[in-house]
Structure 1
């Protein structure tokens, strides 16, 4: 019998899960064109003479902000990404990478500073030596800082 190699196992949790298109709701999450998106608009058409009611979804990519849309029969399944939000305390910034600490005092230095106004606001707060938190959104092995929060003790 051939030797089997099981060294590359995973935790068993999937990056997405299926849900019926008619059960999706505005402000929820869905996979559109292979990207994790937040649903910003949704409409359902009436059943045609020979078919199903169709759901028209419009979503914004969680990480790029790009708009995607799709039409799917209401009875078909769509994939929904597992999205996690985590708050980290900002310790500093080195070469465009943030130094962050979570609730259990674990640090990480692998998250890039976001682009645009959010990056400027973070850099300004670091310069002023303010104590603040950033919210990190994670989906499909992608992570990005999406918001700033004042730290409350």
Structure 2
């Protein structure tokens, strides 16, 4: 009997989209990083017949600015980005204890080392009840915002 190892192809993490159909505030993979598009400009068709699209994006996890240029007819990888809100239960040793709508808990996310993390810490210390928004893409997750209950 032969044993085949199954591995995820990563196909579910990104999907191809024609460069010319990408839009500002959408997502795209730039140099292997999931980015939110902040600027887009298209150059005129050159002598070789391809209009070029200049993309500027911010890495959704690090905020780092990345740029790329691609022919408008080429496909770019677009990350499948999901947003999910969790209720913050506790902060333990730099890790967040979170609960989703169904009551499932998640304890593998670190308190972010940025303004959002500072805000979470302050609200938590003040005993406030609030939600944190977790962004997930290409196998990475990060807390990107806080939200008060409505």
TM range (shorter): over 0.9
Provide the C-alpha distance between the structure 2 equivalents of 1:93 and 1:57, rounded to a whole number of angstroms: 38
List runs of 5+ in structure 2 lacking aligned partners: none
1:81 aligned residue = 79
> Do the aligned partners of residues 49 and 43 (structure 1) sit closer, same or farther apart at CA in structure 2, a change above 3 Å counting?
same
Aligned residues: 150
Superposed CA offset, 1:114-143 (max 9, x none): 112211111111111111000000000100
Quick one: distance in 2 between partners of 1:19 and 1:121? Answer: 36
In structure 2, distance between residues paired with 1:130 and 1:110: 22
Which residue matches 1:5?
Answer: 4
Identify if the C-alpha distance between structure 1 residues 78 and 96 changes in structure 2 by more than 3 Å, giving closer, same or farther. Answer: same
Q: Give runs of aligned pairs for residues 4-153 of structure 1, distance below 5 A.
A: 4-6=3-5, 8-10=6-8, 14-152=12-150
Paired with 2:20 and 2:80, the residues of 1 have a C-alpha distance of 19
CA RMSD of aligned residues (A): 1.6
- Secondary structure in structure 2 of the residue aligned to 1:123: helix
Shift of 1:45: 0.6
**Alpha-carbon spacing, 1:34–1:95, altered in 2? closer, same or farther (3 Å):** same
Give 1:51 deviation, angstroms: 2.6
Give the Cα separation in 2 of the matches to 1:146 and 1:56.
26
**TM-score, with length taken from structure 2:** 0.95
How high is the TM-score relative to the length of structure 1?
0.93
Q: Hey, what's the Cα distance between the residues in 2 that align with 1:124 and 1:70?
A: 38
